[in-house]
Amino acid sequence: MSGNVVRPYGDTTGDGRVQISFTLPVPFGTATEKARAEGAAMQLAVKMGLDPAMVVHAKGMGPDYTFFIVYGRVSHLVDLSEVTVTEREFPLLSPAEVNLRIRTGLGRKLVVVGACIGTDAHTVGIDAILNVKGHSGEKGLEYYREIRVVNLGSQVAVPDLVARAKAEGADAVLVSQVVTQRDAHISNAKEMSAAFDAAGERPLLVIGGPRFDPSMAVDLGVDKIFGKGTTPGEVASYLAYALAPASGDPAADAPAHRVGADA
Amino acid sequence: MGTRLNLDPAVVRQARELAAKAGQPIVEMAKTHTTVSVERAVLRLAGLQGADADGMPWVNRLVDAVRESTGLEHGVALPAWDAMLTGGHDSLAALAEAASHGKVPFRIPAGADADAARIAARAALAHGIGKIDANRARRQELIEQTAEPRKPWIYLIVATGDIYEDIPQAQAAAREGADIIAVIRSTGQSLLDYVPEGATREGFAGTYATQENFRLMRAALDETSRELGRYVRLTNYASGLCMPEIASLAGLERLDMMLNDCMYGIIFRDINPRRTFIDQRFSRQIHARAGIIINTGEDNYLTTADAVDAAHTVVVSQLMNEYFGKEAGLADSQLGLGHAFEINPAVPDSFLLELAHAQLVRELFPDAPLKYMPPTKHMTGNVFAGYLLDAFFNLCGVMTDQSILLIGMMTEGIHTPFLSDRDLALENVRYVRDAAGRLGESFVPAPGGFIEKRASEVLGESVGLLRRIADEGLLTAIADGTFGITKRPADGGRGLAGVIGRADGYFNPASEILEAGNGAAGADQARALTEIGASK
């Protein structure tokens, strides 16, 4: 097998072995029902490309559902040359480096307005990024001497966010969205970027939440998306990179404020 | 149960004295103020239901109308019942409708008119609170007809957004072993200044708390309790801007437990501190009367702060919740104080630290039905490691005799649980309970050992923090970011506009009955008043 093509690894190179689990809405009571349920699980596994497949565990959950664990072999090949990744376009900086860069590149404090918008009341994410306490051992943005943080908290209406960002002279707006039911995080993000575009003056728009796909920034009309596990240091480094470009840095040529998002 | 940690009783006593000192000014503030939601709760207890064509409840319309004309400094009851008696409105609903069209001239009555209004209002409230008393008796009756589940009670959450989806899920969860069903509320309900009406099928990450949703779910669980031969409890959230109203609805629809923390809304939902404390006192008086177990929210502090560094803030908050709860009439058996298993598993001796914290709380509050929350912060996408961590949580729970175990999901942090996630979680807790359920009796930490030392260290830090709070004042401590890191000034946050200072002659017939009723004498008095109300 060429170095660029791989298969799942169970215990031997190229064996293609994988494990999956799922529930089917089928009963698992009588002997007949059990046989039918396992047959149904086998059928799904085979259709998913597991061949041979082995149902190693089946358990009835209440009268109407059965849970399965299935092992099997897939014949699919993974071509590593076709894998694309979004690499971080900015260098990770220490808080001291971020402060220095803002001082020299911007010449004043960088203003960040943060909020949870829409009905989302889960401020845990935005607080973990903004509060001094931070998370994962990294202090939040309030800790940075050259960053001024205005945390508007939860359930901020988009027009209020736009008005407050203007009043505070925000360089960047950070919005956190945790709730994803009925794709509320997507529609809220689009509504927000459209509102800033309509208002004319558009700060750097950054959105974060565990269920965002970081490659969707253009679709949502924002400048940057941070996904699950983002630390305050990453956000601070990005803000410094985008808003306070150092001379000779590739970002020095990049427009900090993108215009005309298609929302 | 004797102490296993050799806690110094003098230090424990000192901690409680300091909590009382810190809490007293807050209670004074609550006794001299009311809120729009307290006044709306009075109307709900008197039986006012329903909403106008826009879905705004009549209780909001009536309270707003009274506030605009006479103000609420005397309470809503005096002007409302006076207007009923003098204006020929045959019900609160008719009055509310007329008032919403600006057709009711409210006044603060005096003399005989005031006496007549007070008598009518007292009778209506005695009737309403009589329903809460009847529900409490009915719960006891149902427990006797079925059975009281053994402890720890297994607590499971449903949250589909649609009450008609929640019901079969809740019934299925009960059949699989859940003793308590909590219906998570729609995100954002805590910041609505009204309680939605009717059965609801649309919610975000949860289902709206409404009187009709409460009724539907309790009726379904009654059916399931009879089927299973054990009483399945129902939980919801008396928190947010409508805390007193939701507490009242819980009492009227026989909910069994309510999330009701003294500071959660302030810290995590940015609700004004004064509003919260005033609303909280009234809501706890209702819970006390209804035999509802409150659940406090200390687990939340550990999701923002470090679970080792902030362990003492949990104890401090529990002591404050205990003080405020007892002041409002709650018994020890109604104090479901919360805590959580949130220490980073990479910390050396993390399980020993968890045991020390859990046992400390158990010994500080020996008669409280403690609610123990599973790991969330350090649950990752590695569901297999998460399943192991949940098993250690369950083990810690049974070793330290926790009363209520919220069941941890291995997919915590990924999605709302799959049916199979819940089933596996129940398998986990059943295994631990069956295999090690009696380990608690043999769990005696070595004198002078790591666990004992850690427990006494946390207690010592708690006393230190309580002393600071008692000196500078609880509102200042909250403004300084003492709890959950977040800073919340006393005049910030939502809902302050709904806080009203009481005038001399403030009249709240519900509070009268509830405050007189902390004890058998009060219950008798309420019954007598109920009979007067019924005979009218």
Query: Is the minimum CB–CB distance between A143 and chain B shorter than 8 Å?
Result: no
pLDDT of residue B125: 98
Q: Would the CB atoms of B172 and A154 count as touching at under 8 Å?
A: no
Q: Within 10 Å of residue B521's Cβ, how many Cβ atoms?
A: 10
Stated pTM of the model: 0.83
Q: Would the CB atoms of A121 and B161 count as touching at under 8 Å?
A: no
Q: Which of residues 15-34 of A touch B (CB under 8 A)?
A: 21-23
- Nearest CA distance, B116 vs chain A (angstrom): 44
Work out the average pLDDT over A38-48. 98
Q: Catalytic: which of A34, A47, A59, A133?
A: A133
- The DSSP 8-state label assigned to residue B75 in this structure reads -
Higher pLDDT, B418 or A196: A196
Quote the CA–CA distance of B247 and B511 in Å, as a whole number: 14
- Nearest CA distance, B269 vs chain A (angstrom): 7
Query: Under a CB-based contact definition with an 8 Å cutoff, are residues B245 and B40 in contact?
Result: yes
Residue where the block lists tokens 């923002």 = B304
Work out the average pLDDT over A231-237. 93
Q: What is the bridge-based pairing of β-strands A50-61 and A65-74?
A: antiparallel
Phi, psi angles (nearest 5°) of residue B155 = -110, 120
Query: Is the minimum CB–CB distance between B304 and chain A shorter than 8 Å?
Result: yes
Q: Would the CB atoms of B420 and A179 count as touching at under 8 Å?
A: no
The count of residues in chain B is 536
Predicted-assembly ipTM surpassing the 0.85 threshold: no
Query: Under a CB-based contact definition with an 8 Å cutoff, are residues B314 and B278 in contact?
Result: no
pLDDT of residue A247: 62
Query: Which chain B residues touch A133 with a CB distance below 8 Å?
Result: 304-305, 485
Burial class (CB in 10 A: 0-12, 13-18, 19+), A256: middle
Quote the CA–CA distance of B5 and B365 in Å, as a whole number: 13
Query: Which chain B residues touch A114 with a CB distance below 8 Å?
Result: none
Quote the CA–CA distance of A143 and A233 in Å, as a whole number: 11
Q: What are the DSSP E strand ranges found in chain A?
A: 5-6, 17-24, 50-61, 65-74, 78-79, 110-116, 147-151, 172-176, 204-208, 224-226
Q: Would the CB atoms of A61 and B420 count as touching at under 8 Å?
A: yes
- The DSSP 8-state label assigned to residue A151 in this structure reads E
Q: Is the pLDDT of residue A53 over 80?
A: yes
Told to judge if B491 belongs to the known catalytic residues of this protein, a careful annotator would answer no
Query: Under a CB-based contact definition with an 8 Å cutoff, are residues B190 and A121 in contact?
Result: yes
- Nearest CA distance, A9 vs chain B (angstrom): 18
Q: Which of residues 66-125 of A touch B (CB under 8 A)?
A: 67, 119-124
Q: Which residues contact A214 (CB under 8 A, 6 or more apart)?
A: A86, A225, A226, A227
Told to judge if B326 belongs to the known catalytic residues of this protein, a careful annotator would answer no
Query: Is the minimum CB–CB distance between B411 and chain A shorter than 8 Å?
Result: no
Note if the bond before A52 is cis, omega within 30 degrees: yes
pLDDT of residue B480: 87
Angle value at C-alpha A237, between A231 and A243, nearest 5 degrees: 135
Quote the CA–CA distance of A170 and A192 in Å, as a whole number: 15
Q: Which residues contact A196 (CB under 8 A, 6 or more apart)?
A: A162, A165, A173, A202, A203, A205
Number of H helices, E strands in chain A: 7, 10
Average pLDDT across each block of 10 residues of chain B; the chain has 536 residues. List them in order.
Answer: 84 97 97 98 97 96 97 98 95 96 95 97 98 98 96 91 93 92 87 94 88 98 97 97 98 98 86 96 98 94 83 96 97 97 96 98 98 91 95 97 95 82 93 94 94 98 97 93 78 92 97 80 42 42
Query: Is the minimum CB–CB distance between A184 and chain B shorter than 8 Å?
Result: yes
Q: How confident is the model at residue A252 (pLDDT cuts 50, 70, 90)?
A: very low
Query: Under a CB-based contact definition with an 8 Å cutoff, are residues A172 and A208 in contact?
Result: no
Q: Would the CB atoms of A67 and B420 count as touching at under 8 Å?
A: yes
Q: How confident is the model at residue A100 (pLDDT cuts 50, 70, 90)?
A: very high
Mutate to test the interface with B, among A155, A160, A186, A188 (most CBs of B within 10 A): A155
Query: Which chain B residues touch A122 with a CB distance below 8 Å?
Result: 187
pLDDT of residue A143: 81
DSSP string, B462-506: HHHHHHHHHHH-HHHHHHTT-SSS----TT-SBTGGGEEEPPTT-
Q: Catalytic: which of B166, B179, B261, B299?
A: B299
